[in-house]
């Protein structure tokens, strides 16, 4: 059963939607009326050639960029994100390619970076005393929940492998996201074993009930984990396809303009 379909065969409800997004940078139009839809319980991959507008689209969805035109909806409510903080408050967490982890800090401290838990009571709040024990306990519980096999939550992130560091960043996003997790090239620069570790974690995040937007250039990874694939081309959505019913070569052909959507069989579309 496809992850975005309910048992009755009906599509799952829309969690996030963008309509007619336009984004200009001077004389360059990065997004030219782009649409996007994310459904509950799915991994939606976003692919496109360089300059297709996929990064600009994702930045608008994550609050890192403000659209010049168009509308964004979250659970059927129109939202206006002026910063990533606004998106985070709305329950959208983003994992960027550069990870944004603090290498010298422990795994537990990184999980709560910017969201530190203070000791209870007036003194704890007044003096901003960190409740390190509670953060450690919650970090252990959350990493165990996602089945991330790391020896100790107290070890510094700099002692971890690249794949393990990426897992920490993904787990942090999953721990605090309420609506959507966005992942920008999460397997870039990772070896085969570590890349597979991150892909498995992405599946677990989806299986916990959080829909995932996955931006990736790695087509085998996209076809391995995605429930649907959004193809971005020339600043617009060219097609949404089903990786189970379309070949990788046809997908790349649409992405590069070698094929049009009309040339695809009906079952390839999602």
Distance CA(215)–CA(199), nearest Å, equals: 12
Q: What is the pLDDT of residue 127?
A: 83
Could you write out the DSSP letters of every residue in 118-179?
Answer: BPSSHHHHHTT-B-HHHHHHHHHHHHHHTT---S-TTSBGGGS-HHHHHHHHHHHHHHH-SS
Q: Reduced to 3 states, what is the DSSP secondary structure of residue 24?
A: strand
Domains and CATH numbers, the chain: 14-102+161-268 (3.40.50.300), 105-155 (no CATH)
Among 229, 251, 254, 232, residue whose Cα is nearest residue 242: 229
Q: What is the pLDDT of residue 188?
A: 85
Q: What is the pLDDT of residue 99?
A: 62
Placement of tokens 């360089």 in the chain:
50
Q: What is the pLDDT of residue 101?
A: 80
Placement of tokens 């035109």 in the chain:
69
- Model confidence pLDDT, tens digit, residues 92-125: 999 887 667 888 989 999 888 888 888 888 887 7
Q: What is the pLDDT of residue 1?
A: 37
Q: What is the pLDDT of residue 3?
A: 46
- Model confidence pLDDT, tens digit, residues 135-161: 899 888 888 888 877 778 888 989 988
Q: What is the pLDDT of residue 54?
A: 94
Distance CA(139)–CA(108), nearest Å, equals: 5
pLDDT string in tens for the chain (270-residue length): 344 445 556 788 999 999 999 999 999 999 999 999 999 999 999 999 999 999 999 999 999 999 999 999 999 999 999 999 999 999 999 988 766 788 898 999 988 888 888 888 888 777 888 888 998 998 888 888 888 777 788 889 899 888 888 888 888 888 889 899 999 998 887 888 888 888 999 999 999 899 999 999 999 999 999 999 999 999 999 999 999 999 999 999 999 999 999 999 999 999
Q: What is the pLDDT of residue 2?
A: 46
Q: What is the pLDDT of residue 179?
A: 93
Q: Are strands 92-95 and 180-184 parallel, antiparallel or unpaired?
A: parallel
Q: What is the pLDDT of residue 211?
A: 97
CA 48 to chain centre: 16
- pTM of the prediction? 0.88
Among 165, 243, 246, 240, residue whose Cα is nearest residue 198: 165
């Amino acid at each position: 059963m496809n992850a975005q379909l309910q048992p009755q065969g009906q599509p799952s409800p829309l969690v996030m939607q963008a309509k007619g997004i336009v984004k200009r940078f001077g004389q360059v139009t990065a997004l030219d009326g782009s649409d996007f839809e994310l459904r509950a319980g799915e991994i939606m991959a976003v692919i496109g050639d360089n300059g297709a507008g996929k990064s600009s689209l994702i930045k608008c969805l994550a609050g890192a960029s403000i659209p010049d035109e168009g509308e964004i909806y979250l659970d059927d409510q129109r939202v206006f994100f002026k910063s990533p903080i606004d998106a985070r408050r709305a329950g959208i967490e983003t994992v960027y390619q550069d990870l944004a982890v603090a290498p010298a800090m422990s795994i537990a401290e990184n999980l709560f970076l910017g969201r530190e838990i203070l000791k209870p009571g007036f003194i704890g709040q007044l003096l901003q005393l960190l409740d390190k024990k509670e953060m450690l306990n919650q970090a252990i519980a959350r990493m165990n929940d996602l089945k991330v096999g790391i020896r100790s939550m107290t070890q510094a992130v700099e002692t971890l492998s690249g794949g393990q560091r990426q897992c920490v960043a993904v787990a942090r996003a999953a721990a605090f996201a309420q609506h959507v997790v966005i992942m920008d090239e999460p397997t870039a620069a990772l070896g085969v074993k570590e890349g597979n570790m991150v892909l498995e974690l992405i599946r677990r995040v989806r299986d916990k009930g959080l829909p995932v937007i996955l931006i990736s250039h790695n087509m085998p990874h996209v076809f391995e984990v995605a429930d649907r694939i959004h193809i971005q081309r020339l600043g617009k959505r060219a097609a949404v396809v089903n990786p189970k019913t379309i070949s990788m070569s046809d997908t790349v052909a649409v992405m590069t303009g070698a094929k049009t959507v009309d040339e695809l069989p009906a079952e390839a579309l999602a």
